Amino acid sequence: MNPFVYEIPTKVYFGEGQLSHLGPELARFGKKVLLVYGGGSIKRTGLYDRIVKEVEAAGLELFELPGVEPNPRVATVRKGAQICKDEGIDVVLAVGGGSTIDCSKFVAASACVDHDPWDFFVKGAPVEKALPLVTILTIAATGSEMDDGGVISNPDTHEKLFTGNMALLPKVSFEDPTLTYTVPKYQTASGSADILSHVLEVYFDMAPGLYMLDAFMEGLMKTVIRFAPVALAHPDDYEARANLMWASSWAINGFVNGGRGVDWSCHAMEHELSAFYDITHGHGLAILTPRWMEYCLSEKTVSKYVQYGVNVFGLDATADPMVVARQAIERTADFLYDKLGLASTLTDLGIDDTNFELMAEKACKAYSGDCVDGFVRLEPQDIVSIYRMCL
């Protein structure tokens, strides 16, 4: 077990009706607010009007960066940073899901430097400070509302890269489960797969960690498996939406790690898929995860699968470990494809093997250099094999 530092100062207003605190919270940071959002959904739902009302009631001045893409582009970050510099923005308000929040993080950071935003990702330019960031979450998925990192895409280079720093952590996040009632089924399913994957990427590790964190991760996974189907069947079920929302934040805010620090295997492989084909991140993870689990199963790793199967799916702890492990993989696939209704192959998404070698190399390059050193060390040829299993 490695030593670690725990520090998550983000203040979270959780529950219905909490947006009434938005104005005063924004006002703590200044007068000029840059509202960042994606498509038009926040206008259709009335959330936009609500925000404008709260901001105006607090006597603040509103600027806007609309149109953030589902896999946010560095060009949009550049645009936002320019507004911040031109207008002297005091605080960035991200309204949306992971894409909008990730974009906002790098808008906030880029506003404080003279170099190009992409330098944070490819030139090792450090994120040393950022404008304060407030978020209003509208989809439970990436956990960006309570973590210190983000992913930005550069379509020119087929790159989708991650970087993180405490300065990017939102100061305040609003999590109102009712704001996710209108999330379409496909996004609800993909978001739930994303949350599950965040936990699995940490949980599947053969190094001894803190038992209490394993138990918490098992609780998070049971939460997603229990409530995602409820949210799909009843989009306005408050309990289901609330559990998924709070689980999304805690799956990836760093708490579950407790000193574990291996590479994230499925995320490494998925980032290349969505960089090349612009697919939905959570769906890519859903396709990869059971195949990755299958590929990594061995006598050496089987005990972790058994722990997972017994504690998350209630499988029989006394049965043959390899049998339990395979059942656990099947149950995971069943959840992702049958319960969530996500298509199970890359072929379904129109992806063939054309770029597998290139994507595998890029995945390794973005993580440890020549491999993805996660639960099981994956070299480029291993990653190609896993991609092929997904066809």
The binding site for a copy of itself (CB under 8 A) comprises: 1-9, 11-18, 208, 210-213, 215-216, 218-220, 222-223, 226-227, 238-239, 242-243, 246-247, 250, 258-259
Q: How far is the CB of 182 from a copy of itself (least distance, A)?
A: 20
Cβ nearer to a copy of itself, comparing 243 with 332: 243
**Cα distance between residue 226 and residue 15, in whole Å:** 20
Q: How far is the CB of 256 from a copy of itself (least distance, A)?
A: 11
Q: How far is the CB of 298 from a copy of itself (least distance, A)?
A: 25
Cβ nearer to a copy of itself, comparing 63 with 246: 246
> Amino acid letter at 20?
S
At a CB cut-off of 8 Å and minimum separation 6, what does 208 contact?
Answer: 1
Cβ nearer to a copy of itself, comparing 14 with 295: 14
Instruction: Work out the number of other CB atoms within 10 angstroms of the CB of residue 157.
Output: 13
Q: How far is the CB of 327 from a copy of itself (least distance, A)?
A: 19
Pairing of the two strands 172-175 and 159-164 = unpaired
**Cα distance between residue 170 and residue 166, in whole Å:** 9
Cβ nearer to a copy of itself, comparing 9 with 350: 9
Structure-token pair, residue 268:
């490494």
**Cα distance between residue 372 and residue 391, in whole Å:** 21
Cβ nearer to a copy of itself, comparing 79 with 222: 222
Nearest Cα neighbor of 364 from 271, 299, 226 is 271
**Cα distance between residue 276 and residue 50, in whole Å:** 37
Cβ nearer to a copy of itself, comparing 137 with 366: 137
Pairing of the two strands 149-154 and 133-137 = unpaired
Cβ nearer to a copy of itself, comparing 238 with 277: 238
Q: How far is the CB of 187 from a copy of itself (least distance, A)?
A: 20
Q: How far is the CB of 252 from a copy of itself (least distance, A)?
A: 14
Helices 211-233, 238-252: axis angle to 10 degrees equals 140
Q: Positive or negative CA dihedral for 17, 18, 19, 23?
A: positive
At a CB cut-off of 8 Å and minimum separation 6, what does 191 contact?
Answer: 97, 139, 140, 141, 142, 183, 244, 248, 282
Q: How far is the CB of 193 from a copy of itself (least distance, A)?
A: 17
Q: How many residues does the chain have?
A: 391
**Cα distance between residue 230 and residue 237, in whole Å:** 7
In the DSSP assignment, the letter for residue 300 is T
Instruction: Work out the number of other CB atoms within 10 angstroms of the CB of residue 352.
Output: 9
Cβ nearer to a copy of itself, comparing 124 with 208: 208
Q: How far is the CB of 255 from a copy of itself (least distance, A)?
A: 9
Q: How far is the CB of 11 from a copy of itself (least distance, A)?
A: 4
